[in-house]
Amino acid sequence: MKTMRQNASFLKLAGIVILVLALILVAVLMIFRNKKTTTSTEETTTDQTTTETNTSTLTTILDQSTETQNQFSSFETKAYNKAKEWKSSASLCAVSIKLTGDLNPQSITYSFIFCTSQEKNYYFNINYNTEGQFLRALVWQTDYLQPDLPPIGYESFKKADFPQALELTEQNGGQIFRSTNTQSTITLNLYRSGNKNYLYWFVKYESQDGVDQLNKKIDVYSGQIVSE
């Protein structure tokens, strides 16, 4: 009788031990599973953050396109007044906008190039940063863009302003170029060219060493990329 009670106690104890071990095993498996799920979620979040970082700066520029265009117009007016101090007959004949490859809006510089029939050798060039600080200089026509540029006119019915030209280039190779050339620079030149003197944006993405380049020509009136 005593032996039977001992066996029953042993079996009961063994059952409790097995149950405890099973619970511990289940707990360990759940912890491992939760840890794996958390790691996977963190990796996904990191990837999404990286993607957002690649596009956020362009989004910032586009969201501020009205503000950017107002800033452009303000600097253009100031540059025009200063050009008139140089020559009363001065006309805007080109615009050059530069920014860093990370598309930081604060890196933008605006250059306004003026010409006149009274001066065949020089352009009047004035640069503005986003803070409104400026630098003006006379530059040889043969050293800048191309000589004998005709006046722009910059009509109000244009289709592609600076942010739109940048967005179009981004969609056609620009974003890929920047992803492989992290220290690149971007230049957008606006001037008339060709036999009919059409107005174009000439957009250039350039690597830090100048070896790699991406060039696009955009018709200002149609807002389309033009084949070279």
Q: What is the pLDDT of residue 29?
A: 58
pLDDT tens digits, one per residue of 162-197: 888 999 999 999 999 999 998 899 999 999 998 888
Q: What is the pLDDT of residue 24?
A: 62
Q: What is the pLDDT of residue 137?
A: 96
User: In the chain, which ranges are E strands?
Assistant: 91-100, 109-116, 119-129, 134-140, 185-193, 198-206, 213-219, 224-225
Q: What is the pLDDT of residue 66?
A: 75
Q: What is the pLDDT of residue 13?
A: 56
The secondary element (H helix, E strand) that includes residue 63 is helix 2-63
Q: What is the pLDDT of residue 68?
A: 77
Domain ranges of the chain: 1-63, 66-225
Q: Which residues of the chain fall short of a pLDDT of 70?
A: 1-57, 59-60, 62-65, 154-157, 228
